Chains A and B, each alone.
Chain A
Amino acid sequence: MAQIRIEHVRKEFGAFTAVQSSSFTIEDGEFFMLLGPSGCGKTTTLRMMAGLELPTSGEIYIDGEEVGMKPASQRDIAFVFQMFALYPHLNVGKNISYPLISQGMPQAQAKKKVGEIAEILGITDILNKPVGGLSGGDRQRVALGRAIVRDPKAFFMDEPLGALDAEFREHMSEELRALHDRMNATTVYVTHDQLEAMQMGDKIVVMNHGVVEQFGVPQNIYDWPATKFVAQFIGSPPMNFLDFRGMLGVGESKVCLGEAEFEVPRMLDGANGDLTFGVRPEHIKLDDAAPYRGQVSAVEYLGTTQIITLDTSNGTVKARVASSDKVSVGERVGLRFDPRTVSIFNADTGHVLKSEANEGVLNHG
């Protein structure tokens, strides 16, 4: 298993730049998520790591060795495709043994190895079946079998659950994670599903328009987004943005939204002009005594919690509060924000201002 390092990788397709300049490091044994909306360059980044695309510039290191221009077959990695890409003219067993045979392993030895893998994945009974009639889950397992059978340095997966039914996805994602832990593998996983990324990943890279917006552990990315894009892409409902004009000096820990004053983490960056006050829906409390008011425009009941939509003088806010709070549409309520979890963004650049709370976790591409 291996450490993978990406340095200033750039990819152009003609006039279109798919990846602008990505740098990040995937540590040995990590389950690493490449997350972003479609067209953000995450799949292109993965394909460059795998050797299916060649980078326009930049370096890719696997285990300290520069592999950027090497063909895929020499990188000793395995790839699981969204479409599974099982060879339709071969049966399940032959599909799994294919990479072994291509390396020149004798038939008998390959067969034994396939047997072991089938045991792990629980597909021993379908080894002699053609791949055509298999269910989505079994196809997924066969594709995984083909990936793990030759103990590669790393597994690359391109939205491997994207083709599965929703109910089966949950189950398969647990299976995938368990398999990763069991193989002690380094896994790079591309997805556009933020929940999947948070649930399965040790670390997440968030990409947008070919740029790495942030990378880090899921909790830090959720709590301390580096940009407004990350704040909005992760979390459901996303982080609330309250736009205001003002001035923030270094070392200050108070901002004014209109008349109301809010405590924020002590700032390490100063700013002057259009700013955005960011707060997660679950860090908003309804408090009739609070001076900052909003009018309730909608209530969504979700069981244990409810999402309250409020109109304030700085824009619409969604708050996640306990279902026991009695709120009705049209009511005016007071709002309190948890001062330890607030982020202030520069509204023009979209970047967060550094504060004592987030300084340790910010990582831009």
Chain B
Amino acid sequence: MSFSVTEPTNGTKWFAGILVVAYAVITIIPLLWIIATGLKSPADSISYPPVVVFEPTLEGYVNLFTDRTRATEDMLEEAGPPQTWYEEIARERGTIISGPSRYGERFLNSVIIGFGSTALCMILGTAAAYAFSRFRVPLKDDLLFFILSTRMMPPIAVAIPIFLMFRNLGLNDTHLGMILLYTAVNLSLSVWLLKGFIDEIPIEYEEAALIDGYTRFQAFYKVVLPQAATGIASTAIFCLIFAWNEYAFAVLLTSGTAQTAPPFIPNIIGVNGKDWPAVAAGATIFLVPVMVFTVLLRKHLLRGITFGAVRK
């Protein structure tokens, strides 16, 4: 028998496995619950004790994407028999579909604002981080501290000045306004994270590129960027998650054309406050883009592309 300090025994492997599974279950259950609620009928969704086994229906999704009115006999007669499966679902509740809901628009707003601010944040953040990492910037340390200090209080603490500022600038309820706001909030974190990543890239690569005949910008673009991809990807995920999920500013500053999904979703519940399946359906769909984005960039998060190319 030989013993090793680092080799785990079967017992510790099992213990670690159980811990991981338990953690996964705890974090995944709320998610599964939301997805399940989206497929329940309104009655099932608020029944007590909660039902785990139920007959699935797409009513929540239909309610999410449509506006409906309570139908009178005349209206039903006028409309004729239901033409589509979703009209059928609406008729069962004694309503007819009067048009699409605004969820689609709100969702699109979230996409434009979330990804727009993330892209802008990456462009500005990478440029600033590169400058701080490579050039002799006067008062560098003070500037970096100042940039970080913008995140030392919760952003909502400055809600009122921002509200007034936006009103005077005509940025209230505009895509541009929200993109600028989320970029401003995320930029300090991006600059700091990206500076760390760029600091790790040896300056010799750029110098080699400069000598090989590239301009400073080409060296940045062709040599630094590919190697900073890992850092940019992970920073982008942080920025997107914040912008995507932001609620307080969205409630305060958007109401119509630029309203994002988070302040819209609670409104779906309707006047009697019963339509939880539609809310759950809205939340479920809302999760998808961030998950897709994260999965797409996952390989960048995991891959250390500079492995072994430079001896330290």
Contact = CB atoms under 8 A, between A and B. Distances in A.
A89 B215 contact: no
A81 B204 contact: yes
B156 interface: no
B107 to A, nearest CB: 36
Interface string B187-227: 00000000000000010110111111111001000010011
Interface stretch (A26-34, A96-104, A239-247, A257-265): A96-104
B93 interface: no
B305 A89 contact: yes
Contacts, number: 77
Contacts of A52: 207, 210-211
Given A88-B305, A88-B310, A89-B226, A79 B213 contact: no
Nearest to B205: A85
A99 B308 contact: no
B309 interface: yes
Given A89-B305, A136-B311, A163-B311, A83 B204 contact: yes
A19 to B, nearest CB: 18
Contact of B306 (A50, A88, A163): A88
Contacts of A88: 227, 305-310
B196 to A, nearest CB: 18
A132 B307 contact: yes
Q: Which interface class (under 10, 10 to 19, 20 to 34, 35 or more) fits A? A: 20 to 34
Contacts of A139: 311
A136 B208 CA distance: 18
Given A83-B204, A83-B310, A85-B204, A103 B213 contact: yes
Contact of B308 (A71, A77, A98, A133): A133
Nearest to B214: A102
A293 B208 CA distance: 58
A146 interface: yes
B223 A72 contact: no
Q: Which interface class (under 10, 10 to 19, 20 to 34, 35 or more) fits B? A: 20 to 34
A98 B309 CA distance: 16
Contacts of A72: 207, 210-211
A77 B307 contact: no
A81 B311 contact: no
A81 B213 contact: no
Given A85-B202, A85-B207, A163-B311, A102 B227 contact: no
A181 to B, nearest CB: 23
A77 B208 CA distance: 11
Most-contacted residue by chain A among B227, B307, B311, B312 (CB, 10 A): B311
Contacts of B309: 86-88, 131-132
Interface string B292-307: 0000000000000111
A84 interface: yes
Contacts of A103: 213
A2 interface: no
Contacts of A77: 211
A73 interface: yes
B213 A102 contact: yes
A146 B218 CA distance: 18
Question: Could you tell me the dominant secondary structure of chain B's interface residues?
Answer: loop
Interface in B261-312: 305-312
Nearest to B212: A99
A78 interface: yes
Given A84-B311, A136-B311, A79 B211 contact: yes
Nearest to A79: B211
Most-contacted residue by chain A among B204, B213, B307 (CB, 10 A): B213
Contacts of A99: 211-213
A83 B207 CA distance: 12
A73 B214 contact: yes
A85 B213 contact: no
A50 B211 contact: yes
B212 A132 contact: no
A87 B223 contact: yes
Contacts of A132: 307-309
A81 to B, nearest CB: 5
Most-contacted residue by chain B among A99, A103, A163 (CB, 10 A): A99
Interface string A61-78: 000000000011100011
Nearest to B226: A89
Interface in A128-143: 131-133, 136, 139
A110 B274 CA distance: 70
A88 B215 CA distance: 19
Contacts of B207: 52, 72, 79, 81, 85
Nearest to B206: A85
A88 B225 CA distance: 12
Interface string A175-217: 0000000000000000000000000000000000000000000
Interface string A19-47: 00000000000000000000000000000
Most-contacted residue by chain B among A77, A84, A133 (CB, 10 A): A84
Contacts of A50: 211
Given A88-B310, A133-B308, A146 B226 contact: no
A83 B311 contact: yes
A183 B98 CA distance: 83
20 contacts: A52-B207, A71-B215, A73-B210, A73-B213, A79-B211, A83-B202, A85-B207, A85-B310, A87-B209, A88-B306, A88-B308, A89-B226, A89-B305, A98-B212, A99-B211, A102-B209, A103-B213, A132-B309, A133-B308, A146-B212
Interface of B: 202, 204-205, 207-215, 218, 223, 226-227, 305-312
Pairs of residues from A and B, 7 with the lowest C-beta to C-beta distance, nearest first: A88-B309, A85-B204, A99-B212, A132-B308, A102-B213, A85-B208, A73-B213
Given A72-B210, A85-B207, A87-B205, 12 more contacts: A71-B215, A73-B215, A77-B211, A85-B204, A86-B309, A87-B209, A88-B227, A88-B305, A88-B308, A98-B212, A133-B308, A139-B311
